[in-house]
Amino acid sequence: MKTTISKLEKFTNDSAQVDAAAIQPLPNSRKIYLQGSRSDIRVPMREISQSDTATSQGVEKNPPIYVYDTSGPYTDPAASIDIRQGLPPVREQWIDERADTEILSGFSSSYSRERLSDPKLMDMRFHLKRPARRAKSGANVTQMHYARRGIITPEMEFIAIRENQRREQADLNGEGLLTRQHPGQGFGAAIQQWITPEFVRAEVACGRAIIPANINHPEAEPMIIGRNFLVKINANIGNSALGSSIQDEVEKMTWAIRWGGDTVMDLSTGKNIHETREWIIRNSPVPIGTVPIYQALEKVDGRAEELTWEIFRDTLIEQAEQGVDYFTIHAGVRLPFIPMTAKRMTGIVSRGGSIMAKWCLAHHQESFLYTHFEDICEIMKAYDVSFSLGDGLRPGSIYDANDEAQLAELKTLGELTEIAWKHDVQVMIEGPGHVPMQLIKENMDLQLKYCHEAPFYTLGPLTTDIAPGYDHITSAIGAAMIGWYGTAMLCYVTPKEHLGLPDKDDVKDGIIAYKIAAHAADLAKGHPGAQIRDNALSKARFEFRWNDQFNLGLDPDKAREFHDETLPQEGAKLAHFCSMCGPNFCSMKITQDVRDYAAQQGISEAEALQDGMAQKSSEFVDKGGELYSKL
Amino acid sequence: MKTTISKLEKFTNDSAQVDAAAIQPLPNSRKIYLQGSRSDIRVPMREISQSDTATSQGVEKNPPIYVYDTSGPYTDPAASIDIRQGLPPVREQWIDERADTEILSGFSSSYSRERLSDPKLMDMRFHLKRPARRAKSGANVTQMHYARRGIITPEMEFIAIRENQRREQADLNGEGLLTRQHPGQGFGAAIQQWITPEFVRAEVACGRAIIPANINHPEAEPMIIGRNFLVKINANIGNSALGSSIQDEVEKMTWAIRWGGDTVMDLSTGKNIHETREWIIRNSPVPIGTVPIYQALEKVDGRAEELTWEIFRDTLIEQAEQGVDYFTIHAGVRLPFIPMTAKRMTGIVSRGGSIMAKWCLAHHQESFLYTHFEDICEIMKAYDVSFSLGDGLRPGSIYDANDEAQLAELKTLGELTEIAWKHDVQVMIEGPGHVPMQLIKENMDLQLKYCHEAPFYTLGPLTTDIAPGYDHITSAIGAAMIGWYGTAMLCYVTPKEHLGLPDKDDVKDGIIAYKIAAHAADLAKGHPGAQIRDNALSKARFEFRWNDQFNLGLDPDKAREFHDETLPQEGAKLAHFCSMCGPNFCSMKITQDVRDYAAQQGISEAEALQDGMAQKSSEFVDKGGELYSKL
């Protein structure tokens, strides 16, 4: 962060460069692609290879482990990465083939045209040659619209393959390991079957899942958000008036997806919001979300009361034609709910919520987001932008959790969901906030009830207010729980929450904490195959395959660094102990020795222990010294 | 950690010194003492003072906040700290007055006598002048024994005052703030009343809580572990054969209690275990636990099969006369359970469990810990050492969670609890380990059932295996949940878990993660007054009292450091925004402005919004620019 301000001054198109750290493949990992029914459906996965297990009977092979890969072409050595060119438009052909969009001769937004014609911005602008698209007059280009007409799009097939990876692996490699798969409690009967393209279609058609995929963001690899799929995580990035540059924000995005961000929200509120967003979208293989009211407010110099529907509408179109995949719209902050926040400990803590509250009070009118909701739907369906209905009245403290204001807004979001669905526009619902553990399930259950099972997308929740500097942890607790209870996507919280703008390190810390929460939720829900990675890592740990243990983890670099602090020698990667306990006290080593002893006797360990134990035990003692201390 | 080895060589009594960082009072904090019914019952608390709130009507005072304080005399500027002298024996008079102990003329343990007479150890030894004590022949000196005879000890009164601090505050200061105290789900009816000395006595008498308080550790400030009290946390420290020194370990202890460790376990398995422990106990104001089998194993040079009851017994007496407050004893690892671990993913992962399994196999005999359990009880009651019945068969991976071996051992621990209680010996039960979220409650419920409500003391549990380097987070999730469900004490996990020996930084990271988990559990259980600190911090946050926000948090240093990365100027501590959003986008500022507007009008905000809204709103617009951007 110390260099932020200087970068802010210096950024130009010429100087733009990819973060070198973001394009190294992860250790012992290889990018592979699974092909679908057509050659341009190429679904990325990360293959992590493992070393062999040496046993007394010879070598046992350990299969490679395949994990969901959000990092896009960046970790593919075969891809040439130039952020001034942007990523290849992998979905362009599919959009084209549907023949329901038209190529625009220029931007429909007056603000976009203004920025494009401003010569002062020439140097910092991303130079996109591809023109924007829009639905043909009268057409609806949402994935939900296709799904409801029974069409399985290439996006849906891509997603089915992507979500199935671990399930396939469970069937192919994991048999023995999965016999103790614990029964989960979160999935319906459907998910216990294969995730088929038809299943994806059906979930999107009924609104239980969304595919955020703007026709102007063809660079994005399709992904799905819904509670019958893997739990996803979002990373918030973006500058503020006090810091960061375009270069910084692109780096945060590539860093976030490297460690597992499924979507990224650009929450910029500082300088050059339009250009910053363009750089991010053109280089992002994951869906990008925004909160358009932030930029609209900048257009009126921060004076909320001067916001108008026209300015907001132009902002929606501006961003939709850039390719934003989902918009947070705080249309549930209605005038009559604002007094409900008066007795709160922390009032309104959502930026968008407070802006709209201010507008409503100044005009003593119902919010224009609410009154123009159907107009907004018309824009959404012309580009396939998904709603992320904002929780402008979310609780900002434990004291305010699940209060009247929060629940009144949640009900309204449910009503708006029905309106959006009437237009076949995709919807997810944003949630808290700060909520103590005993109230989390109530919040989730009410969301499902009020919002007709539209996917829930929650920030945390933070389970206590008393740990500024550690809110990635206070909130990972709540996130894991609400993910288990049914939340489809978890919005990360970084250690800087409440204190400052996150830098790259904070982004990574937030992502890892949330990957933990999302994965813990997948395990608890009983997602088929989720446990494979745990099993593989635990087996590697038990067998002292140190490098495999590092590489199978969420952060191989950190695991290796911690291990090497005390045992840096490469030979220690083969040692049957670590500095935590030392050789004599390593329980894994002792258990291993017991197993090896049994194997040497040519019998199973259980037999060794149960049959003829007395006789075996005397042999055991005879050979004991050697068996236990030198193996 | 890099300097560990050199310190190991150099440590001498002369060079021993307190960690300067551990004796600074925390910012804006003052150590105060509440006096009980006699002048030597002085219960420590930390008073955090707050700055005033400036309102348009003048100055509003914010009351000081009182928090439970584990840091002992170290944070008291009035105390003179010299670790070569140790802490003052605050309980000595109480023990003396009971007149049921005798002063020993020398150590009862032959090993202790050996170490004491070894001239090579002279330089590194802590020179304790006070002789050891033991119960008079036939006497039982446990707190449980007193409790069952209806005696309320000074320790119990001390604890009642200590646990009540926040409750008192709730009644005295917090009225308004607590009206939205959320109903908790964890406490029985009793706790909804005041925690009286009689309540403490009754909980100890029935075994639902323990007071770990060895008569040879009079330096310790009494504390209680039970699910009708605040959730406690333990920090593991200790050297290994590969690193750390006595100086390092004392520093880890003082560091752990500074940040909130309620007890500390010395798990040393390296050099000079006896002397290291002595230095730790003499300087510890919190109870110290150990796993005596570790030292016993060192006495037979790491050869488990050579362990004997006699060696183990001498080790128990050695440690009991030093003042260890609780012993982890893996007496539930029975011979017939060992084959149940054969098909596990990760076998036996407890060090003590694997040592005993190895012994059982080598001898094909039932564990001597099990067969001599009543003999062990006799030792425990002569010094008031509490049992922490070890979970030697805890699961080391998600795959192994709640399996046959784990539950068979848990049942046995319940049987052993009944035997210990027959002797009026205090007992808590250790628990997992690695457990996915959906199995945590089952584990807790079975523990309550099998172990007759003896307090549960769990390591984590880790809710996934895939994040080495971040297991403080994987486990804080499980710890918060199991704390809510009824676990009385949470054993921390540091980021180094599975990878190496924790250093001071790791100790702090582990402590903070576990303070978060324990506090989240207290909130969820509805502990009276737990929410006061959340409310005070949130109010400070909302009012932009930055220093108060930092100081009320678990780690004021880190919060300030994060804030100052982008806004280091002292003036920014008064700013009504931070670098996260900048001035225009600060929702707290906007809400504040709305409230201030209402206050200026001399009406409540709710009225402002509900009555005469149209008229007010036009005034609002007239003054708008000024109200919103300059207040």
Q: Decide if A604 contacts A598 (C-beta within 8 A).
A: yes
Q: Is B197 on the interface with A (CB under 8 A)?
A: no
Q: Which residue has the tokens 């100055």?
A: B59
E strands, A238-284, are: 263-266
Q: Is B177 on the interface with A (CB under 8 A)?
A: yes
Phi, psi torsion values for A326, nearest 5 degrees: -145, 145
Distance CA B178, CA B168 (A): 13
* Selected residue with higher pLDDT from A445 and A602: A445
- Six-digit token pair at A220? 């994005």
Q: Is A138 annotated as a binding residue?
A: no
Residue A622 lies in a domain: yes
Distance CA B81, CA A227 (A): 56
What's the ipTM? 0.93
Phi, psi torsion values for A373, nearest 5 degrees: -60, -40
CA end-to-end distance (rounded Å), chain A: 50
Distance CA A191, CA A170 (A): 14
Query: Model's pTM, two decimal places?
Result: 0.93
Residue A586 lies in a domain: yes
Residue A478's identity, in one-letter code, is G
Beta bridge pairs of residue B462:
B434
Residue A493 lies in a domain: no
| DSSP tag of B78 | T
Q: What is the pLDDT of residues B273-286, one digit of tens each?
A: 999 999 999 999 99
B628: closest CA among B565, B568, B577? Answer: B577
User: Cβ contact (<8 Å) for B542 and A496?
Assistant: no
Q: What is the pLDDT of residues A562-571, one digit of tens each?
A: 999 888 888 8
Residue A590 lies in a domain: yes
> Any idea of the CA torsion for B352, B357, B362, B368, to the nearest 10 degrees?
70
Average pLDDT, chain A: 89
User: Cβ contact (<8 Å) for B242 and A567?
Assistant: yes
Q: Is B430 annotated as a binding residue?
A: yes
Phi, psi torsion values for B137, nearest 5 degrees: -50, 125
Res. A344: pLDDT tops 50: yes
**Neighbouring residues of A568: CB distance < 8 A, sequence distance ≥ 6:** none
User: Cβ contact (<8 Å) for B617 and A364?
Assistant: yes
Distance CA A222, CA A36 (A): 13
Mean pLDDT lowest among A191-195, A430-434, B46-50, B173-177? B173-177
User: Cβ contact (<8 Å) for A523 and B477?
Assistant: no
A473: closest CA among A501, A513, A504? Answer: A513
The partner residue sitting opposite B269, judged by closest CB among A183, A468, A585, is A585
CA end-to-end distance (rounded Å), chain B: 50
Q: What is the pLDDT of residues A33-48, one digit of tens each?
A: 999 999 999 999 999 9
Domain that holds residue B609: 576-630
**Cα–Cα distances in Å, from B223 out to A256, B230, B328?**
44, 10, 18
A33: closest CA among A22, A41, A21, A23? Answer: A41
Residue A624 lies in a domain: yes
Residue A469 lies in a domain: no
Q: What is the 3-state secondary structure (H, E, C) of B33-52?
A: EEECCCCCCEEEEEEECCCC
Q: What is the pLDDT of residues A234-267, one digit of tens each?
A: 999 998 877 778 999 999 999 999 999 999 999 9
Q: What is the pLDDT of residues A398-421, one digit of tens each?
A: 999 999 999 999 999 999 999 999
Distance CA A401, CA A439 (A): 8
Q: Is A284 annotated as a binding residue?
A: no
Q: Min CA distance, B358 vs chain A (Å)?
A: 7
User: Cβ contact (<8 Å) for B243 and A579?
Assistant: yes
Average pLDDT, chain B: 89
Q: Decide if B417 contacts B427 (C-beta within 8 A).
A: yes
Q: Min CA distance, B23 vs chain A (Å)?
A: 22
Q: Which residue has the tokens 């639902």?
A: B208
Res. A626: pLDDT tops 60: no
Q: Looking at residues B514-528, what average pLDDT do you find?
A: 94
Q: What is the pLDDT of residues B301-323, one digit of tens each?
A: 999 999 999 999 999 999 999 99
pLDDT of residue A66: 94
Number of domains present in the structure of chain A: 1
Residue A132 lies in a domain: no
B294: closest CA among B326, B330, B325, B264? Answer: B330
pLDDT band with cut points at 50, 70 and 90 for residue B168: low
Res. B267: pLDDT tops 80: yes
Interface size A-B, in CB pairs within 8 Å, comes to 495
Q: Decide if A473 contacts A431 (C-beta within 8 A).
A: no
User: Cβ contact (<8 Å) for A515 and B467?
Assistant: yes
Q: What is the pLDDT of residues B538-575, one digit of tens each?
A: 999 999 999 999 999 999 999 999 999 888 888 888 77
Chain B residues within an 8 Å CB radius of A271: none
Angle of CA points B577, B578, B584, to nearest 5°: 50
Distance CA B212, CA B220 (A): 9
Res. A17: pLDDT tops 60: yes
